[in-house]
Amino acid sequence: MNRSFLLALIFLSVTTTAMSQSSDTTVVKRSYTTKHIQGAITLDGIPNEEAWNAIDWTGDFTQWKPNEGKAPGQPTRFKILYDEKYLYIAYHCIDKYPDSIIKRMDRRDQFPGDWVEINIDSYHDHRTAFSFTLSASGVRGDEFVSNNGDFWDVNWNPIWFAQTHVDETGWTAEVKIPFSQLRYGNEADKTWGIQVTRRLFRKEEMSTWQFIPQRSAVWVSAFGELKGLKNIPLHRQVEIAPYVTFQTDKYKKEAGNPFAKGLDTKLNGGLDGKYAVTNDLILDFTVNPDFGQVEADPSQVRIDGFQNFFEERRPFFMESRNIFDYQLTGSEAGGDYDSDLLFYSRRIGSSPHGYPNVTDNEYVKMPQNTSILGAAKFSGKTRKGLSIGVLESVTQKEMASIDNNGEKRKELVEPLTSYFVGRLQKDINGGKTVFGGIFTAVNRDNGLNDLLHRNAYSGGLDFIHTWKNRTWYIRGNMVFSQVQGSKTAILNTQTAFEHLFQRPGATEVSVDSNRTALTGTGATIRLGKAGGNGAGRFGRLFKFETGVTLRSPELELNDIGFMLTANEINHFTWAGFHWPKSFLFFRTARLNYNHWSRWDYGGKFIYQAFNFNTNATLKNNYQVGTGTTWAVFGISNNALRGASAIRRLPGISYNFFVTSDYRKKFYVSFNNTTFWGFQHTMKNNNTDLTLYFQPINALRVSLSASYAYSWRKQDQFVSNVSYGNTTRTIVSEVKQNTLRFVGRLTYNITPDLTLQYYGQPYISRPVYSHFAYVTNPLAHKLNDRFHVFNNGEITEVNGEYRVDEQKDGIVDYSFNKPDFNFVQFRSNFVVRWEYKHGSEIYLVWSQSNTPDAEADLDNNVPIAKSLFTNAFDNNAARNIFLVKWTYRFLK
């Protein structure tokens, strides 16, 4: 037997036995009884007012990490009082070494240094909670917790008040939470779920008031209880937040272009608001929203045909997004299919889809984004466990302005569009079973009928059922979609990259140029064990999930959702062992196994891969991990853009990462992934290095560099060209180098006054060579799939390749040189001052630079030199200066 394999088996057996010695212990649910406040409290962080003496401290916390079940390194205690408007909390985080308290600062919701947190399940539905975190330095964080702790939404931003104080006994805090920021029923005598957690940063220790074993895989449902809340009036939240912005754009003036004067200014205004229709259900609305302070998207280039996915960063769409989240799969094994969503909010307000027809002597002014006239969300959860989410947004008709020697005209580039999303979920049996549904609709006004769908609808049903104390689960969903439009628009969808009905050999689909609608379906079923409860040596450590996810050929979600490709049936399995307690030299450790298989709807087997990975946190707080994936078999239906499917030879990948102790003022993160194709067919390498530095509590800096190298031998798609009565699919060898640097800086003048900087220079350079055309795409040997052009068959003339297959001096066909050099620099500098709770002033300087770097497309010029030569070219830079003022009226 292989020596390393034998050692691994011994290690697994010994550690599993050690971790399994103690029998399951019964966890007692704790309770705390509060009282109505008598007297006044001055919020200064020192709970010494007489009013606090009306109630006793509670404490007796239990260590949660790293030594689960043991006494914490330092004790913690708290008190809770209330009146008709507020919930008051006093904390005493006792510390024998007050000089060792870490008082680091950061942006809101970053949770720096030592902190204490309360989670409040005011619905008492055992699935959702409101979280309020306060650091010793006074930085606040807040999250909405859903799915029994599986989802924490940091974009929930309630108004609440807090102060902290450090003394010789440790640190204390006072918190005041308006009842209007919580949701609860109208019963006279209330019982809420609560959990209080303390983080002791220097030991990276977490302790909790209500002990919840990590292996239980639950959170909210195991909270302790807060009792004694009597006759609290219902507080309907009413908030209005008008805003005003002044923006100046500075860029290079272009001679003769009336739309490029070098300086543009704009004064704008709008309104955000919240209104509690009931105490459970909130209406959020925005009129002419402004997203000028939002951080720029990371630069990204793909040459494989798939679209890029960018995270939502706009506050209106981020808050309460858990209600509208509907992943088609969401597997533990992970995969490209996991990115598919029925609702992808970035579709709303995206760049216009159209572009005007212009001649060479005409100038164009294009809107950068589609303007959102207004949007509204109606969301919440009733006392009976019904979650409701409704979103409606309207984007205006966008016109491009064209100038032809002083004669101006406008052309439509985006029609007036309505976006709708409706979501319902119902908890049954205390949230152990949940049923739900979703419906989306996109309706466009007349215009661009041959480019866009006139109407697009999608919907789905989902469920999850858990048993054995929520240790086991089965969950599933099904979806449908229908797009409607002109014959041209539907033909474009049939032949688009995501569908490729024209692909030869695809017996399950065919192109029909007379169709005016497409209807597709999809589904997922997953069975798994989420918790560590179980009998036997491995039962408390073992978790797994297996399932199948399907996407029919006509499924189309990209009008309001996100879908990489249709026509797939994916099987996935994940299994792992999780050691949550400290043992040997580990704080925690995981061993994981995954495998994936894929078919298309014609029954063709197209993918198989296996993966093993492991990761751990060491006792010195270093995090390490490694893994390997064996891609056994692969056929791509998309790579040749509909010309045919093509075999992709197998290969193996290896990855490794290490992060040093992030408690230190300086720490490093490094990771590397390398893939080797068998028979020397391809190689990918990605390396990332990030340095973090916090010289003082108020200043945090991070600098990262990533380099990616990709090489494919011969099978990179270039173009489909006509040759007589046939189509030649041109492919090539490609070498792509990508270099990215990212810098971030956060400086806290106070917890509510921060300076933030983000900068990213980026370059990607793919270079194509050894051109060929496809002859037998499914041949087992790589060289049998292509005919490689020799010197007598192909020549390059002024950026165009001309092919003479017959070698008779007559050009049979041609295609453009595909090489390019994409360079971009993006940055944001933001001063944010929350001068009043919920009211803010932003000062923003944003710079975007995407120069034409084709002149530097020279393989002899190092990629780093090309990046810095072009990225900081002031002639191509666009500088945006913005001031935004908001005032939040709260009832």
Given a contact cutoff of 8 angstroms between Cβ atoms, the answer to whether 269 and 242 are in contact is: yes
Residues 542 and 478: their CA atoms lie apart, in Å, by 29
**What DSSP character marks residue 209?**
S
Q: 640 lies in a domain?
A: no
Q: Give the phi and the psi of residue 782 in degrees, each rounded to 5.
A: -60, -45
Assign 551 to helix, strand or coil.
Answer: strand
Better-predicted residue by pLDDT, 664 or 26: 664
In tens, the pLDDT along 668-719 reads: 999 999 999 998 889 999 999 999 999 999 999 999 999 999 999 989 999 9
* Residue 156 confidence (pLDDT) above 90: no
The stretch 291-311 carries a mean pLDDT of: 87
Q: Is 73 exposed, middle or buried, given 0-12, 13-18 or 19+ CB atoms closer than 10 A?
A: middle
The neighbour count for residue 345, using CB atoms within 10 Å, is 23
Q: 84 lies in a domain?
A: yes
The stretch 259-263 carries a mean pLDDT of: 91
Q: 201 lies in a domain?
A: yes
The strand pair at 115-121 and 86-94 is best described as unpaired
Q: 156 lies in a domain?
A: yes
Q: 90 lies in a domain?
A: yes
| Model pLDDT, residue 447 | 86
Q: 879 lies in a domain?
A: no
Residues 6 or more apart whose CB falls under 8 angstroms from that of 805 comprise: 723, 793, 812
In tens, the pLDDT along 392-402 reads: 999 999 999 99
| Model pLDDT, residue 563 | 97
Q: Which two structure tokens, joined as six digits, stand for 306?
A: 């798939």
Q: 38 lies in a domain?
A: yes
Residue 349 to residues 317, 344, 367, 414, 417: CA-CA distances in angstroms? Answer: 11, 11, 11, 10, 10
* Residue 410 confidence (pLDDT) above 60: yes
Residues 373 and 358: their CA atoms lie apart, in Å, by 28
Can you name the residues that pair with 120 across neighbouring β-strands?
130, 194
Q: pLDDT category, 593, cuts 50, 70, 90?
A: very high
Q: 163 lies in a domain?
A: yes
Residues 669 and 691: their CA atoms lie apart, in Å, by 7
Strand (E) or helix (H) holding 867: helix 863-871
Q: Which two structure tokens, joined as six digits, stand for 231?
A: 């006759």
The strand pair at 189-200 and 115-121 is best described as antiparallel
Residues 195 and 226: their CA atoms lie apart, in Å, by 9
**How much of the chain exceeds pLDDT 70, in percent?**
96
Q: pLDDT category, 466, cuts 50, 70, 90?
A: very high
Given a contact cutoff of 8 angstroms between Cβ atoms, the answer to whether 721 and 127 are in contact is: no
pTM: 0.90
Domain that includes residue 55, residue range: 29-230
Residues 44 and 242: their CA atoms lie apart, in Å, by 30
In CATH, what number is assigned to the domain containing residue 170?
2.60.40.1190
* Number of structural domains in the chain: 1
| Model pLDDT, residue 25 | 52
Assign 31 to helix, strand or coil.
Answer: strand
**How much of the chain exceeds pLDDT 90, in percent?**
73
* Residue 875 confidence (pLDDT) above 80: no
